[in-house]
Amino acid sequence: MNTDCLLSIIVPVYNVEKYIRSCMESIFRQNLDESIFEVIIVNDGTPDHSMEVIQDIIDQHPNISVINQENLSLSVARNNGIAKAKGEYILMPDSDDLLIDNSLSILLDEAIKSKADLIVADFLEMTDQEIDDKKVIPQMELHIEEKSGERLFLEDLNPRQCYVWRTLYRREFLINNQLTFVPGIRYQDIPFTHECFIKAGKCLRVNWLLNIYRKGHESATYSFDRRKAHDFCIAIAETWKLTKRENSLEIHNKLKNDVYISFSFLICLISYSLREAAVRIEILNFLKQQVPDMYFKNGFVQIVTYMLYKYMPHIFIELNYYGRKFKRCLKSLFV
């Protein structure tokens, strides 16, 4: 590997046999000289044939290295990839998504020139069928806006879209600030993205399509269960910890509002997916253990929600459960 490695692309692999080849092929359609970037594949103990599917690609490209580990989670896989990375910048695409052809070289050029901590790009959401049908993706007109990390956080971070794969991270920035993913949990991108944005110095917000996010392909197999609920609680607690830093009032208020959005989504998932009342209550109690000082008071709805959650959790969660069940029944009557 060239000592002047400009980019490390970290690709965790777990149960993506159907998609991993397309992901890897898209990485090598970026008009980048292979001497200036490396690809680190982290095999997270995948039980399927994902690694066999891309073995010929691994053999063909000397800038690919492989880390084999037991199944320790996406967050640990990314942490291990970051620890091994040599590039000035790091990109972490999801292994079931794609990079848009010839989209990365322009972003990398801007990153190297600016030495920005974060370069945040745009993406498209497409189904498998749409990806198969659309052979050429029309690119946006390039527009670059320089911002501080705090302004990027306030103006651009959607708490429902804490996608790490749309951002180039300066490796030195991650290392110096000890920015890693919470090991062993899902939803680890929520606290990670919030902390990165808040701590970043110079950033670039680039109107330029980098990724294709596959939508819909998890719907048949994805289910929200007790373990995922626990992980979500930990992600919320880790994000809430950021409110204890010396932040500006704007940052402080947005952090609390973002946590409230994550909390509301958690309650929605619990109400839709967990049928046992005892389990729903257990999740609320676990959340209180993880973040006992969490509160919301921005407006009437937040205040009422917090009071019910804090003092009448049984009533709060059952109101949500039966309310959503009633809405589903009404919806079925008019379909």
What is residue 223's predicted lDDT score, i.e. its pLDDT? 81
What is residue 1's predicted lDDT score, i.e. its pLDDT? 43
Structural domains in the chain, sorted by start: 7-214 (3.90.550.10), 226-333 (no CATH)
What is residue 144's predicted lDDT score, i.e. its pLDDT? 97
Average pLDDT of adjacent 10-residue blocks, the chain of 335 residues: 81 95 96 96 96 96 96 95 97 95 96 98 91 81 96 96 97 97 94 97 97 73 83 97 91 96 94 90 96 94 92 88 62 48
SS (H, E, C) the chain: CCCCCCEEEEEEECCCCCCHHHHHHHHCCCCCCCCCEEEEEEEECCCCCHHHHCHHHHHHCCCEEEEEECCCCHHHHHHHHHHHCCCCEEECCCCCCEECCCCHHHHHHHHHHHCCCEEEEEEEEECHHHHHHCCCCCCCCCEEEEEEHHHHHHHHCCCCCCCHHHEEEEHHHHHHCCCCCCCCCCCCHHHHHHHHHHHCCEEEEEEEEEEEEECCCCCCCCCCCHHHHHHHHHHHHHHHHHHHCCCCHHHHHHHHHHHHHHHHHHHHHHHHHCCCHHHHHHHHHHHHHHCCCCCCCCCHHHHHHHHHHHHCHHHHHHHHHHHHHHHHHHHHHCC
CB-based contacts of 56: which residues, under 8 Å, 6+ apart?
Answer: none
Nearest to 77 by CA among 11, 27, 20: 11
Note the pTM of the prediction, 2 decimals: 0.92
What is residue 3's predicted lDDT score, i.e. its pLDDT? 56
